[in-house]
């Protein structure tokens, strides 16, 4: 796959501040050349033999860069129109209905005593849930990539013996 296709696949935006997690950090680091690091990553992906399906599975989660932003409506959070479109794509990637994802974020079902009730969430609570879900997904994706790399390196060792 050529470099431009990877750029389109991995980088939903070229502006780091548009990514939820990155927007809380420093945009540039003098000692790091982003272009060189990206090229190194692409070479590693090719060298390790990641399939197109595998590349899609971890590149698609950059979709979380957009804000699933909430509108402040008294105490109950609601999603913006742009967030509904994003929620459809996220739900598709996760293999769940976007309506179920929306309910679990905005009005999760909780057990109170012996009964199940729907709890309304504030914007801060929804944003916290989104952050927790994002971090969990990235954690699992990172572990999967490490396992995949270890599997590839282990296979190559056996072939060399």
Per-residue pLDDT of the chain (161 residues; tens, 9 = 90+): 556 666 666 656 666 666 666 667 777 788 988 888 888 988 888 888 888 888 777 666 655 544 555 555 557 888 777 777 778 878 877 888 989 988 998 899 999 999 999 998 888 888 888 888 888 888 988 898 888 888 888 865 555 54
Q: Which pLDDT value is given to residue 86?
A: 77
Q: Which pLDDT value is given to residue 66?
A: 46
pTM: 0.69
Q: Which pLDDT value is given to residue 65?
A: 46
Distance between CA atoms of residues 123 and 106, nearest Å: 9
Distance between CA atoms of residues 42 and 38, nearest Å: 6
- As a dihedral over the C-alpha atoms of residue 160, residue 147, residue 19, residue 88, rounded to 10 degrees, the angle is 120
Which long-range CB contacts under 8 A does 21-30 form with residues at least 24 apart? Answer: 21/131, 21/134, 22/65
Q: Compute the C-alpha angle 48/54/60, nearest 5°.
A: 125
CATH superfamily of 3-25+32-160: Myosin VI head, motor domain, U50 subdomain (1.20.120.720)
Q: Which pLDDT value is given to residue 72?
A: 58
Helix axes 52-59 and 123-160, enclosed angle (nearest 10): 150
How big is the chain, counted in residues?
A: 161
Q: Which distant-in-sequence residues (6+ apart) come within 8 Å of 120 by Cβ?
A: 75, 76, 77, 106, 107
Q: Where are the alpha helices (DSSP H) in 77-122?
A: 81-94, 98-106
Residue 72 contacts residue 145 (beta carbons within 8 Å)? no
Distance between CA atoms of residues 65 and 77, nearest Å: 20
């Amino acid at each position: 796959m050529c470099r431009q296709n990877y750029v389109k696949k991995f980088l939903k935006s070229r502006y780091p501040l548009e990514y939820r997690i990155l927007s809380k950090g420093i945009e540039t680091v003098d000692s790091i050349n982003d272009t060189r690091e990206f090229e190194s990553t692409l070479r590693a992906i090719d060298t390790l033999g990641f399939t197109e399906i595998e590349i899609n599975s971890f590149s698609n989660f950059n979709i979380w860069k957009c804000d699933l932003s909430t509108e402040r409506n008294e105490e109950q959070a609601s999603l913006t129109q742009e967030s509904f479109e994003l929620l459809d794509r996220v739900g598709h990637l996760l293999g769940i209905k976007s309506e179920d994802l929306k309910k679990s974020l905005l009005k999760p079902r909780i057990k109170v005593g012996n009964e199940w009730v729907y709890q309304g969430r504030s914007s801060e609570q929804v944003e916290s849930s989104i952050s927790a879900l994002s971090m969990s997904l990235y954690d699992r994706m990172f572990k999967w990539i490490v396992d995949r790399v270890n599997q590839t390196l282990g296979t190559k060792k056996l072939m060399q013996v």
